[in-house]
Structure 1
């Protein structure tokens, strides 16, 4: 069979299956779609997780995914300007976070997904799972998963548009969807022209971002037992940055204001899936095929083209005789094939064949358990086995919920680390990098335990989680020798020793009155290298305080977010090349909404209200105060 056709029909199956779960089982707000091989009820889920809904995004005036993630406990979002933003979970490496869009890998090949320009306009919810998820998602879900789930629309025909203009730029979006009880389709467009700011901090040439996204998705219940679906998404992005000075002696000199560096990026993902119910729904089958293409070029050079293709078959069986969607005892089994490639190493492909099992049990006394295991057979490096176990218990009288989890996750070696044979010349001299095909995947071991406590007649709740994670076999480059022709030669190896990360997360919310809602998110992190030195770009303290006040006689709301970051260390690539602590900072954002009519909303927001100068990376400035006004309509 043609593999592309097979992938297409498979992806269609998967989307259909997810839609069926949402339509037939539980309200979307009560499940975590990404929580296992199939969706999990939030109250029964033992792992630490956060769900950001479209309502919260709109209420807080959040326009980008990277800004949305800054409010999640356990998440560190930082980078050199808005065009190169990395996400770390619980102090892990940036490439240890798996980012999905509608369940499909956002980036192809071995690339780490860089958040920039990803708009929230057509997003239904963002699910963040903290702790290793490789037992369900494979490589790169070593410290957690972020699944960005886009809107499909309700029964009937819907139209929605938005436009926003401000000192930072302009963005707009449009979506149309039509659905019946048996399925539907949706089509959306989003455009952003962020004029940017000078990331060197000198107040010179602005470094902007321009991004366009198109998405087309649908599903249909062919029979009462068979559903088919598809999803296609395409984005193109262009962004600018600044150069670095080799002779800099301080942070102000390191980033040079110029017009030289720029990048073009093309992203494309496709999925087709099918889901079949048998034995009265007790036995479910899901077949999906997925493909992600991710091409990126820098400063006009030929793009590096990366690709990931996957075929998945999932079987779900209700062990207690109930339909799989509602069974108290459920067995899931997954067979998966995945292959990725990169034009940077065209002679090498990485292929993985995987088997995974998951058991979920819910007991009458409020106890829930989830167990998972996975075996990855890799074609070019060492095979890997990962596991996952979690449990939760809810006290029926008080509503207090205990939750705990443990498990392992992996991150595969990159093409460059495996196969590099590259020589570079610069004003610093000549360097050559030689890959090591005998590398092992990096492995993360994790444990967490927490308690969620409702209070004030369930008008509020607080969830506190302690976590501890250990990274082993971390891949590092090291100086090998100097060659007359090759210059300084560097090789790759699995690092000896462990990188330790521990801390705690707090998430709280309170309906203080009928008009006032309060939210709190806090993370304390202690992350160290095997030699005891501090890990860079992992703040020790991150705090978010948020308040929403219903106003304008019930026709609108005002939200204020206060964010504080301290204890963030980074390497200075200038002077003595020391690792030093960045200054702590506090920023304030304000957003407002007002219902002009039942269908049209006036929006406004101010980011960095007090024009605070701050940085997450030595030498790179962050955006100052920016003011925006917009309109949203839904019919």
Structure 2
């Protein structure tokens, strides 16, 4: 559902003009046909959400499963974790064709989070078969701005941001640090807490060299160190599955982009050239030490068919990419692909918007692939109703671990890329004289060649293989927002998911039902705020290590985890025009629950914070 700007009186909700990075060039959200969600920085602050992974729990169609605070997977519409591409300012967060695991990315310096659901390979490549999560950092407002904050509670965290922006461009620098004492993930009596220490830094700058030429740079750095407990494989029940072990791991993420943009033909033709690089390092101090790198050279061109690019109702865009991956899991197996993309966009006077794209990937390792995407958005005349629909295909290439092995498992170099095809149909409507907005979407996706693994070696001597048949995923996503009074806003979301593998077995870590309810109340003429959110999860399965499936699909038998409900609350008050006092309680009622078999979630934890802006 589009993010809404709620009026200060009880009157119709006003939709801000938001542009999504959802194609070769940004597109207006109301013209975008595919289901999406935008979470703004203001919403993150009001709700007291401290990390991106916790913010994503409120997004329809998204399932979040964490083994503690430091290792969290995100799945969109029942797909695997590595079918979702995670970006930070449009740059890949992970290198070397690996899945990205969330590990406490702070929400403090974020402008917004864009979540695009459905096949996105046409515009983002093979990693985006199920969707895209793009984390946009704050680039600053006009003038000079600065802010800083600190929070205490079972550890501490702090952040700082400074920016300067004028008509020619701007520069922004953000930094955050988190020292989370954590909790005993093993749940053993007297065990040590498993903490997390993380530092993040972002630098961005852009400048207009002339009226028609612009340039910029983005840099990102993140370092993480965290403790975890070891798995006790002989255990057949969740109690005692983990043993207190004081193991630790380290991650380092580096990302950067330099770009140049120029307008020609009186603004009818826009060119953009960019070079991006992402590096990743991982060390578990036991089995694996990994270094990975991804380099991408991109060209984008967009032509206004009926006028200047910024004013045209019809545009044709084209793109070229060269991508190179390397990973120390297989030092002699570097990969390269060359891609060509074409996209048409049309905004018609009858309220219809069209987005059509086609991509061709020339791979040096895998079979060449062609993907396509179609999005339609139709605003009904004289009615507060918008229809949206999309269809498309996506691919996911096997990663280095699946092809060549890791962590003691034997890779399979004969694996074929996974192929996803799907469509969705949705309706967005304003109700109650415009004070409420409801969006309902049905989605249907089929995955071929799903890659899975067995705990023991298969007859060919490997642990990985392509499943025969189709993995089916069907579901419904609902999101709603309601301006109940001048000071009270209420939101809700619900996801129903039916996900089966080719054998008809249930897919793990994909809840069948997810329901969320949130509310924010303003008081003292807007100087104070109270907010709360409730999350209910049911029908979630995970592998049960005590028993095994028969060959050829050898692995843990999925068992249903207990349903759970978690409530969080937050409050804030502007002590002065520049100083704000905040507090929040996570898991208010100290619910015992788990997203993964044998990994208990964190209990009730309280935090107190202070922030300032100038």
Q: Which residue of 1 aligns with 2:552?
A: none
- Structure 2 residue 120 is the aligned partner of structure 1 residue 133: yes
Q: Which residue of 2 aligns with 1:410?
A: 395
Q: Distance in 2 between matches of 1:579 and 1:124?
A: 39
On the 8 A contact 1:225/1:276 being kept in 2, the answer is yes
- Structure 2 residue 474 is the aligned partner of structure 1 residue 493: no
Q: Distance in 2 between matches of 1:268 and 1:325?
A: 33
Q: Distance in 2 between matches of 1:481 and 1:297?
A: 28
Spell out, residue by residue over 1:45-88, the C-alpha distance to the aligned partner (whole angstroms, 9 max, x if none): 10000000000000100110000000000000002112110000
Secondary structure of 1:69 counterpart:
helix
- Structure 2 residue 438 is the aligned partner of structure 1 residue 462: yes
On the 8 A contact 1:476/1:495 being kept in 2, the answer is yes
Which residue of 98, 102, 108 maps to 2:85?
Answer: 98
Q: Which residue of 2 aligns with 1:536?
A: 508
- TM superposition score normalised by structure 1: 0.91
Q: Distance in 2 between matches of 1:81 and 1:450?
A: 35
- Structure 2 residue 241 is the aligned partner of structure 1 residue 247: no
Mark the CA change 1:276 to 1:28 in structure 2 (over 3 Å): closer, same or farther: farther
Q: Which residue of 1 aligns with 2:8?
A: none
On the 8 A contact 1:381/1:439 being kept in 2, the answer is no
- Structure 2 residue 261 is the aligned partner of structure 1 residue 275: yes
Q: Which residue of 2 aligns with 1:435?
A: 412
Q: Distance in 2 between matches of 1:471 and 1:153?
A: 41
Spell out, residue by residue over 1:247-276, the C-alpha distance to the aligned partner (whole angstroms, 9 max, x if none): 1121102111221x2111111001000100
Spell out, residue by residue over 1:538-587, the C-alpha distance to the aligned partner (whole angstroms, 9 max, x if none): 00000110011112343111001011000000111235643110000001
How much does 1:300 deviate? Answer: 5.9
Alignment size in residue pairs: 592
Query: What is the CA RMSD across the aligned residues, in angstroms?
Result: 1.6
Secondary structure of 2:546 counterpart:
coil
Q: Which residue of 2 aligns with 1:580?
A: 559
1:383-532 matched pairs, under 5 angstroms: 383-420=368-405, 424=408, 433-436=410-413, 438-477=414-453, 489-490=461-462, 492-532=464-504
On the 8 A contact 2:404/2:410 being kept in 1, the answer is no
On the 8 A contact 1:443/1:471 being kept in 2, the answer is yes
Q: Distance in 2 between matches of 1:343 and 1:573?
A: 30
Q: Which residue of 2 aligns with 1:24?
A: none
On the 8 A contact 2:98/2:400 being kept in 1, the answer is no
Q: Which residue of 1 aligns with 2:366?
A: 381
Q: Which residue of 2 aligns with 1:306?
A: 292
Which residue of 179, 185, 188 maps to 2:165?
Answer: 179
Spell out, residue by residue over 1:416-448, the C-alpha distance to the aligned partner (whole angstroms, 9 max, x if none): 33334x794xxxxxxx62422x43211111110
On the 8 A contact 1:251/1:574 being kept in 2, the answer is no
> Structure 1 residues 197-206 or 354-363, which shifts more?
197-206
Q: Distance in 2 between matches of 1:279 and 1:363?
A: 24
- Structure 2 residue 58 is the aligned partner of structure 1 residue 71: yes
Q: Which residue of 1 aligns with 2:331?
A: 346
Q: Which residue of 1 aligns with 2:553?
A: none
Q: Which residue of 1 aligns with 2:584?
A: 605
Q: Distance in 1 between matches of 2:453 and 2:151?
A: 45
How much does 1:31 deviate? Answer: 2.7
- TM superposition score normalised by structure 2: 0.94
Which residue of 130, 137, 140 maps to 1:143?
Answer: 130
Q: Which residue of 1 aligns with 2:27?
A: 40
Q: Distance in 2 between matches of 1:115 and 1:491?
A: 26
How much does 1:414 deviate? Answer: 1.1
Secondary structure of 1:565 counterpart:
strand
Mark the CA change 1:372 to 1:481 in structure 2 (over 3 Å): closer, same or farther: closer
On the 8 A contact 2:538/2:562 being kept in 1, the answer is yes
Q: Distance in 1 between matches of 2:161 and 2:18?
A: 25
Which residue of 560, 569, 594 maps to 2:541?
Answer: 569
Q: Which runs of 5+ in 2 are unaligned?
A: 1-13, 549-555
Spell out, residue by residue over 1:483-507, the C-alpha distance to the aligned partner (whole angstroms, 9 max, x if none): xxxxx92254332100000010000
Q: Distance in 2 between matches of 1:590 and 1:329?
A: 46
Which residue of 583, 589, 594 maps to 1:615?
Answer: 594
On the 8 A contact 2:329/2:404 being kept in 1, the answer is no
Q: Distance in 2 between matches of 1:463 and 1:29?
A: 16
Spell out, residue by residue over 1:267-292, the C-alpha distance to the aligned partner (whole angstroms, 9 max, x if none): 10010001000112110000000000
Q: Which residue of 2 aligns with 1:9?
A: none
Secondary structure of 1:59 counterpart:
helix
Secondary structure of 1:199 counterpart:
coil
How much does 1:610 deviate? Answer: 0.2
1:282-321 matched pairs, under 5 angstroms: 282-299=268-285, 303-320=289-306
Choose between structure 1 and 2: higher helix proportion: 1
On the 8 A contact 1:248/1:575 being kept in 2, the answer is no
1:615-634 matched pairs, under 5 angstroms: 615-634=594-613
Secondary structure of 1:257 counterpart:
strand
Q: Distance in 2 between matches of 1:48 and 1:86?
A: 21
